[in-house]
Copies of this chain bind each other. A is one copy, B any other.
Amino acid sequence: MRHARLPASEHIALEDVFHALSDPFRLGVVRRLAVEGEQSCQALEGDRPKSSVSHHFRVLREAGLIRTRNEGVTRMNALRRDDIEQRFPGLLDCVMSRAND
């Protein structure tokens, strides 16, 4: 399998992170991963087609927000919590602070 592009912590760009988080679906995914931990794509897709979901996960991955690993036939997505915190301290707190508005 080709390896997903995943920027090293020090190459995570704030513009990319902001762009990734400017979509309500993706912001929701990040918030759920923060609360619930690692999840499959399927567990987080609403009712939209797999190809759309896959696209959004790719945007999150390429922005440096999540990491994906294989577990059997499913792929588990995890928030890169430490990497994000190290590079942009406080950002995740910010994202979570108004999660229920």
Contacts and interface: CB of A to CB of B under 8 A. Distances in A.
Interface string A64-96: 000000000000000000000001111101110
Interface string A9-20: 000011110110
Q: Say whether chain A's binding surface is mostly helix, strand, loop, or mixed.
A: helix
Interface of A: 13-16, 18-19, 21-24, 27, 87-91, 93-95, 97-98, 101
A63 to B, nearest CB: 10
Tell me how many chains of this kind the complex includes. 2
B22 A18 contact: yes
7 contacts: A13-B101, A14-B27, A15-B24, A88-B98, A89-B97, A90-B90, A90-B93
